[in-house]
Amino acid sequence: MYRYDSYDQSIVDARVEEFRDQVQRRLSGQLTEDQFKPLRLMNGLYLQLHAYMLRVAIPYGTLSGRQMRKLGEIARKYDKGYGHFTTRTNLQYNWIKLADAPDILAELATVEMHAIQTSGNCIRNISSDQYAGVAADEVTDPRPWAELLRQWSTFHPEFTYLPRKFKICVIAAEEDRAAMRLHDIGLKLVSRDGKIGAEVYAGGGMGRTPMVAPLINDFVPEDEIVSYLEACLRVYNRYGRRDNKYKARIKILVHELGVEEYKRQVEEEYAHMRILGLNPPTEELDRIRPFFAGPAYESGLSDEIDRTDPAFALWADRQVAAHRQPGYAIVNISLKPRGGIPGDASAEQIELAADLAERYSFDELRVTHAQNLVLPHVKKADLYAIWQKLDEAGLAEANLDLITDIIACPGLDYCSLANARSIPLAQKLSERFGTAERQADLGELKIKISGCINACGHHHAGHIGVLGVDRKGVENFQLSLGGSGAEDASLGQITGPGFSEDGVVDAIEKVTDIYLTQREEGERFLDTYRRIGMKPFKEAIYG
Amino acid sequence: MVEFLSFRDGEAAQEPAVTVESFTGQSNSTAVRIEAGEDARELLPYLDRLSLVEVNFPAYGDGRGYSAARILREAGYVGELRAVGDVLVDQLSAMRRCGFDSFRPDKALDDAAVERALNRYADVYQKTVDGRSPVWAKRHPEKING
């Protein structure tokens, strides 16, 4: 876990005081809402349908028990006793009073947390692989680079008023658990001749024009990543479209210029910038790296798991992933209880996760872009005790990557941009498909729901995607099939005319029925879809 | 309230700034104004004779001028670099970091707010063109020369 030094702390503390000053000016009437809006939006504070929403950054999805406990405490003290984990691995509070916001930031600062750049047209929270540091298939732990980029992007003076928001992801494994190629810039760390560098992908994203990011550079040496990104961002800042917010993301620039031309412009810019000494020295990465060194694992532990309790065995088979250290496991905690709200957690659940992290996982937790939690370093011998505690707290759902492990945005229940409600639909789907047998039979199947075209619910990347639209004042849901946010990234195709809320649940059931009758041995839903195409599904839905 | 803010020694440039097009088309002007969509690199052959570059911000959220400023400073421009237009107190610090050394905002700024805004952050994470030492350089003084 990275720990702040006095420099990091002083920057976050200064931000708290700056925001306190801005809120004070707003409350006293010196600032109008129009003048205040750009200021609060630089700090994750949105005015939603019913109240202010505050989005707290969880850099690269990693946090300690102490930080997690603070999030629970804030939920209880300043919100209605819960929080919502987002697809950017952040946490949102939905019922915040403006006058409390500075105090909340001050409390966050005591545990080295903040809400800096969780909104606005700037570089947002850097995301990474939730299995970073414990996955067997990674070249290196990507988080030291993510932390380096967190610092570099914090209050970057040139890139604070970009054409649009900018999302960066860093991974270092073959399996892409973080939807890297659906980011404005995705970095995949690779090893070449014993040296670490990054494959750079630029121009991915969702929204109304989804794109899978193309590769623009196959090896940027690790000590040049910062300056190379400066060149990528500068080209975007200068030439990205500002006339239409729906065409302002970097994906449109890359698409309109063409990959080769964008790449050429970046290279030209880079020729100017690489000699300016913009990169931190390698000693800085060397300073950061030990914070992420693996904990003091015990050796000689047994890999045996006592499976006599069938409910535990079911959970363990689904929620526990292989750890690279013998005797240890990765535990996925589902925030998708049957009929529940995806990504929501009560203050008590957040605090339980904090307790479990401290007691069983070397004081470390992760948040995933699929809106779940991870205990990254758990002894296999402790799995049963953990499961019992999770079960008591309603957190022992065994549905990782199954049909009820739904990603959903907050939708029209909270969000002022939404056209349709995502949450009730997610709940209905979860009820319809939620028996253990049915989910297990359907296997890996990722449903992702967005309540509007902005695609915060990643519907383009859903094996089954649902987009809520407004059709003459009535909520309507478009269905798409075949998307993926993983290493085989692809964009879903729309099936045809949309449905009512109940209608789309029925349509999804027809889709899964086709899969069950057509699948071949070992095929996931996505594999069957890719083999047989849209036609049979379409016939079943509309025929 | 301040209508003009300068961090330069001596008098501010007085000559009216001309457009990039007329500047590059004639040889005697020493002051030029860049609009948001214009390419600062067109000025690079003329840096020696320039004493003022004005960069217009049509709206505070249009950040192209930050890149224009840095490009000029990175290329060695030492004359006055002035931000004009929709320049608000909350942007001054970032503009200073990108090399602006004078400001003529559309709306006058509050002196005390300017003072607070410019002194808020003792430390910065990036190396830019303002000569401030980034945090990483302070952490590793033995590795950084200047």
pLDDT tens digits, residue range B70-128?
999 999 999 999 999 999 998 999 999 999 999 999 999 999 999 999 999 999 999 99
**Which chain A residues have a beta carbon less than 8 Å from that of B39?**
238
- The radius of gyration of chain B's CA atoms, rounded to the nearest angstrom, is 16
Neighbours of A241 (CB within 10 A): 16
Chain-chain contact of B74 with A21 (C-beta, under 8 angstroms): no
Nearest to A185 by CA among A221, A149, A209: A149
pLDDT confidence of residue B146: 42
Are residues A222 and A289 in contact, defined by beta-carbon separation less than 8 angstroms? no
**Which chain B residues have a beta carbon less than 8 Å from that of A283?**
139-140, 143
Are residues B19 and B127 in contact, defined by beta-carbon separation less than 8 angstroms? no
Mutate to test the interface with A, among B77, B125, B132, B133 (most CBs of A within 10 A): B125
* Cα–Cα distance for residue pair A298/A294, rounded to 1 Å: 11
Would you place residue A143 in the very low, low, confident or very high pLDDT band (cuts 50, 70, 90)? very high
Residues 6+ apart with CB under 8 A from A151: A8, B125, B135, B136
CA distance B11 to chain A (A): 27
Interstrand relation of A320-322 and A447-450 (parallel, antiparallel or unpaired): unpaired
Is A456 domain-assigned? yes
> Of A110, A140, A155, which marks where a domain is finished?
A110
pTM equals 0.96
Chain-chain contact of A151 with B135 (C-beta, under 8 angstroms): yes
As to burial, measured by CB atoms within 10 angstroms (0-12 exposed, 13-18 middle, 19+ buried), residue A364 is: buried
CA distance B13 to chain A (A): 25
Is A120 domain-assigned? no
pLDDT confidence of residue B24: 87
Query: DSSP alpha helices (H): ranges in A241-382?
Result: 250-257, 259-273, 282-288, 310-319, 347-360
Written as one letter, the residue type at A151 is Q
pLDDT tens digits, residue range A161-206?
999 999 999 999 999 999 999 999 999 999 999 999 999 999 999 9
Are residues A264 and A258 in contact, defined by beta-carbon separation less than 8 angstroms? no
| DSSP-based helix, strand, coil % in chain B, nearest 5 | 35, 20, 45
Return the CATH number at A265: 3.30.413.10
pLDDT tens digits, residue range A473-506?
999 999 999 999 999 999 999 999 999 999 999 9
Which pair of tokens denotes residue A461? 């990347």
Chain-chain contact of B136 with A273 (C-beta, under 8 angstroms): no
pLDDT tens digits, residue range A38-69?
889 888 999 888 889 999 999 999 999 999 99
CA distance A202 to chain B (A): 20
Strand order in the sheet with A91-96: A45-47, A52-56, A91-96, A82-85, A344-346
Residues 6+ apart with CB under 8 A from A32: none
Are residues A475 and A501 in contact, defined by beta-carbon separation less than 8 angstroms? yes
CA distance A298 to chain B (A): 34
**Residue A105 sits in the same domain as residue A215:** no
Are residues A71 and A118 in contact, defined by beta-carbon separation less than 8 angstroms? no
Question: For residue A321, what is the enclosing H or E element?
Answer: strand A320-322
Chain-chain contact of B93 with A157 (C-beta, under 8 angstroms): yes
Is A303 domain-assigned? no
* Cα–Cα distance for residue pair A401/A524, rounded to 1 Å: 11
Chain-chain contact of B67 with A152 (C-beta, under 8 angstroms): no
pLDDT tens digits, residue range A86-128?
999 999 999 999 999 999 999 999 999 999 999 999 999 999 9
Chain-chain contact of B63 with A161 (C-beta, under 8 angstroms): yes
- Three-point CA angle B3, B6, B9, nearest 5°: 145
E-only strand ranges, A57-194: 62-63, 82-85, 91-96, 127-128, 168-171, 185-192
**Which chain A residues have a beta carbon less than 8 Å from that of B135?**
7-8, 11, 151
Is A293 domain-assigned? no
Chain-chain contact of A283 with B143 (C-beta, under 8 angstroms): yes
Nearest to A56 by CA among A45, A66, A41: A45
pLDDT tens digits, residue range A220-272?
999 999 999 999 999 999 999 999 999 999 999 999 999 999 999 999 999 99
Query: DSSP alpha helices (H): ranges in B54-142?
Result: 64-74, 92-97, 111-119, 135-139
CA distance A234 to chain B (A): 7
Mean pLDDT of the residues in chain B: 93
**Which chain A residues have a beta carbon less than 8 Å from that of B63?**
121, 158-162, 237
Would you place residue A30 in the very low, low, confident or very high pLDDT band (cuts 50, 70, 90)? confident
**Which chain A residues have a beta carbon less than 8 Å from that of B123?**
7, 10-11
| Residues present in chain A in total | 543
**Residue A362 sits in the same domain as residue A448:** no
* Cα–Cα distance for residue pair A90/A371, rounded to 1 Å: 9
Chain-chain contact of B94 with A160 (C-beta, under 8 angstroms): yes
Domains of chain B (ranges; CATH) run 5-143 (3.40.50)
Chain-chain contact of A278 with B97 (C-beta, under 8 angstroms): no
Which chain B residue shows the shortest CA-CA distance from A226?
B126
Q: What is the DSSP string of B22-55?
A: HHHH-SS--EEEE-TTS-GGGGGGGGGG-SEEEE
**Residue A258 sits in the same domain as residue A316:** no
Residues on A contacting B at a C-beta cutoff of 8 Å = 5, 7-8, 10-11, 14, 17-18, 21-22, 38-39, 121, 151-152, 154-162, 234, 237-238, 242, 272-273, 276-278, 280-281, 283-284, 287
**Which chain B residues have a beta carbon less than 8 Å from that of A165?**
none
- Domain interval for residue A331: 310-392
Chain-chain contact of B93 with A237 (C-beta, under 8 angstroms): no
**Residue A78 sits in the same domain as residue A39:** yes
Dihedral angle of Cα A518, A522, A524, A526, to the nearest 10 degrees = -70
**Residue A334 sits in the same domain as residue A450:** no
Which chain A residue shows the shortest CA-CA distance from B144?
A281
Is A296 domain-assigned? no
CA distance B33 to chain A (A): 17
**Residue A155 sits in the same domain as residue A255:** yes
Residues in a beta bridge with A166: A123
Return the CATH number at A369: 3.30.70.3340
Which chain A residue shows the shortest CA-CA distance from B69?
A158
**Residue A331 sits in the same domain as residue A382:** yes
**Residue A153 sits in the same domain as residue A272:** yes
Chain-chain contact of A159 with B66 (C-beta, under 8 angstroms): yes
Are residues A201 and A180 in contact, defined by beta-carbon separation less than 8 angstroms? yes
Written as one letter, the residue type at A469 is V
Are residues A63 and A111 in contact, defined by beta-carbon separation less than 8 angstroms? no
Structural domain total, chain A: 4
pLDDT confidence of residue A497: 97
Is A266 domain-assigned? yes
Written as one letter, the residue type at A521 is E
pLDDT confidence of residue B144: 60
**Which chain A residues have a beta carbon less than 8 Å from that of B126?**
152, 156-157, 278
Is A428 domain-assigned? yes
Give me the residue from B64, B74, B138 closest to A238, CB to CB: B64
Which chain A residue shows the shortest CA-CA distance from B129?
A276
**Which chain B residues have a beta carbon less than 8 Å from that of A242?**
62, 64
The packing angle between helices A310-319 and A383-392, to 10°, is 100
Give me the residue from B61, B71, B98 closest to A38, CB to CB: B61
Residues 6+ apart with CB under 8 A from A95: A50, A51, A79, A80
CA distance A73 to chain B (A): 29
Interstrand relation of B102-105 and B80-85 (parallel, antiparallel or unpaired): parallel
Which pair of tokens denotes residue B30? 């020493």
Which pair of tokens denotes residue A263? 């790449």
Nearest to A186 by CA among A218, A157, A223: A218
Return the CATH number at A75: 3.90.480.20
Q: Coil, helix or strand for B119?
A: helix
Chain-chain contact of B144 with A281 (C-beta, under 8 angstroms): yes
* Cα–Cα distance for residue pair A212/A539, rounded to 1 Å: 28
**Residue A353 sits in the same domain as residue A450:** no
> Of A257, A288, A319, which marks where a domain is finished?
A288
Chain-chain contact of A18 with B95 (C-beta, under 8 angstroms): no
Nearest to A489 by CA among A509, A448, A460, A467: A460
* Cα–Cα distance for residue pair B27/B47, rounded to 1 Å: 12
Written as one letter, the residue type at A115 is A
Residue A315 has pLDDT above 50, yes or no: yes
First to last CA, chain A: 54
| Dihedral sign for Cα atoms in the order A306, A309, A314, A318 | negative
Are residues A477 and A504 in contact, defined by beta-carbon separation less than 8 angstroms? yes
**Residue A187 sits in the same domain as residue A239:** yes
Are residues A448 and A458 in contact, defined by beta-carbon separation less than 8 angstroms? yes
**Residue A202 sits in the same domain as residue A96:** no
Would you place residue B25 in the very low, low, confident or very high pLDDT band (cuts 50, 70, 90)? confident
**Residue A11 sits in the same domain as residue A51:** yes
As to burial, measured by CB atoms within 10 angstroms (0-12 exposed, 13-18 middle, 19+ buried), residue A487 is: middle
Give me the residue from B90, B116, B122 closest to A39, CB to CB: B90
Chain-chain contact of A7 with B64 (C-beta, under 8 angstroms): no
Interstrand relation of A464-471 and A474-481 (parallel, antiparallel or unpaired): antiparallel
Written as one letter, the residue type at A517 is T
Is A402 domain-assigned? no
Nearest to B121 by CA among A8, A126, A42: A8
HEC string of A196-224 equals EEEEEEECCECCCCCECCCEEEEEEEHHH
Interstrand relation of A344-346 and A82-85 (parallel, antiparallel or unpaired): antiparallel
Which chain A residue shows the shortest CA-CA distance from B137?
A280
**Which chain A residues have a beta carbon less than 8 Å from that of B139?**
5, 7, 283-284, 287
